[in-house]
Amino acid sequence: MKVFLKNYGCQMNEHDSGRVKDLLASEGFCFTEEPGEADILLFNTCSVRRHAEERVFSRVSSLKALKERRPDIIFGILGCMAEALREDIFIKLPHVDFLCGPADLDKIPEIIKRVKSGGRHLIYVKARKSGKIPEFPDKRDVGRNAYVKIMEGCDNFCSYCVVPYVRGEERSRPSDKILKEIKDLADKGVTRITLLGQNVNSYGRGLKEKIDFSNLLKKIDRLLREIDKSARNLKIDFLTSHPKDAGLDLFKAMAMLESVSKKLHLPLQSGSSRILKKMNRGYTIGKYKKIVKDFRKIVKGSSLSTDLIVGFPGETRKDFNDTLKALKEILFDSAYIFKYSPRPFTAASKLKDDVPQKEKERRHSLLLETQKKILLSKIRNPSL
């Protein structure tokens, strides 16, 4: 059986897709890049903004004719949209055979069997009530770079964000499993490993062992130094950090540990403390700037990236100007800028989405242009 698998989400979604491929490969499935050649079509989806969902709806709709021609073809929607939308997906996409949320991805071979023996409109979801982090076979297809999941889920409930509802409660993987996975990857020739979690800084909460993220980095660094005898220059990256949990312990570990990259992704979201409060972010712009100051002082040769949202409910021109000002002051090495999109289950979705689309677009392009200018001036003057 040939499988077509396309992913639409963040790095964790991309990593999940890779692991699903490894699992299916171990069960004897092959893969194709051509939907028209496939017996099974899988879409690993994202619900973070409406646009992400729309892309999936239009792609999967456009492939409906394949199923009309060959009813034995299997369509599956995987990932965060399966959790967020559940049976509503079948209203718009009746030709889809099954839904599988992020906490059930290890069951895909079993689900495919059930569909082949006549199962229709099957729903495998449970992340809203946590659920374990799926473990996949050790065998994996990797190049030089690989992801390793260290935790999944989020208990922060930023008021705009659907992720805690689709990825479930925060759960960490035991450090021995993580270290074993990293050792196996290094043995396979991987030289750059990106540790993944919705909120890596709260790694270790709820585990039996007493460990936090900085200690995990130390353990990994020790392991890499042991195996890095051929000086392959093994490096560790990580994503994503939450400002309220990023502090001196982390920065000192980053500065001290040779294998740990000096890059930090630290989403600011807004430069207005009033909006940050409404977003339930747990810090003010003043506190964020202090964190950045500590980071840059302690971690030499560092780089800093961020995420920003424009047009959150009630964002005035003054609030927006605070974000613009923060962008100009902090001088990020890169910034991902998003237009606010109301999401199901979230606290903010109960507020009026009152910044007009045109105004969101204006604010969005103004931030993009400003960031572009900042980058150009950084290239001209690297000491900035």
Give residues in contact with ligand SAH (CB under 6 A).
48-49, 160-161, 163, 198, 240, 267, 269, 307, 309, 338, 340-341, 343
The 10 Å Cβ neighbour count of residue 364 is: 18
Q: Distance from first CA to last CA of the chain, Å, rounded?
A: 55
Residue 156 in contact with ligand SF4, rule: CB under 6 A:
yes
Give the CA-trace dihedral at 29, 32, 38, 39, to 10 degrees.
0
Provide the mask over 124-163, with x wherever binding to ligand F3S is found by CB under 6 A and - wherever it is not: --------------------------------------xx
Please provide the DSSP assignment of 58-85 as one string: HHHHHTHHHHHH-TT-EEEEEEHHHHHH
State the binding partner of 338 from ligand F3S, ligand SAH, ligand SF4, none, CB within 5 to 8 A by kind.
Answer: ligand SAH
CA distances from 147 to 30, 186, 321 (A): 22, 12, 37
- Which of the choices ligand SF4, ligand SAH, ligand F3S, none does residue 49 contact, using the CB cut-off of 5 to 8 A by kind? ligand SAH
Question: What are 334's strand-pairing partners?
Answer: 305
Does 171 bind ligand SF4 (CB under 6 A)? Our answer is no
Q: Is 243 in the site for ligand F3S (CB under 6 A)?
A: no
- Binding to ligand F3S by residue 47, rule CB under 6 A? yes
Find the shortest distance in angstroms from Cβ 198 to ligand SF4: 4
CA–CA dist 15, 275 (Å, integer): 32
Residue 157 binding partner per list ligand F3S, ligand SF4, ligand SAH, none, with a CB distance cut-off of 5 to 8 Å that depends on partner kind:
ligand SF4
Contacted by 164, from ligand SF4, ligand SAH, ligand F3S, none: CB < 5 to 8 Å by type = ligand SF4
- Give the amino acid at 206: G
Report the run of H or E that residue 194 belongs to, with start and end: strand 192-196
Residue with the shortest CB distance to ligand SAH: 307
Number of alpha carbons in the 13 Å side-chain half-sphere of residue 83: 28
Nearer to ligand F3S, 79 or 326 (CB): 79
* Side-chain half-sphere exposure of 158, counting CA atoms within 13 A: 27
Nearer to ligand SF4, 90 or 203 (CB): 203
Is 12 a binding residue for ligand F3S by CB under 6 A? The answer is: yes
Ordered strands of the 235-239 beta sheet: 145-149, 192-196, 235-239
**311 touches 354 (CB < 8 A):** no
Using the minimum distance from each CB to ligand SAH, give the nearer residue, 44 or 341: 341
The contact set with ligand SF4 (CB under 6 A) reads 154, 156-158, 161, 163-164, 198-199, 242
Residues that bind ligand F3S (CB under 6 A): 9-10, 12-13, 46-48, 79-80, 162-163, 166-167
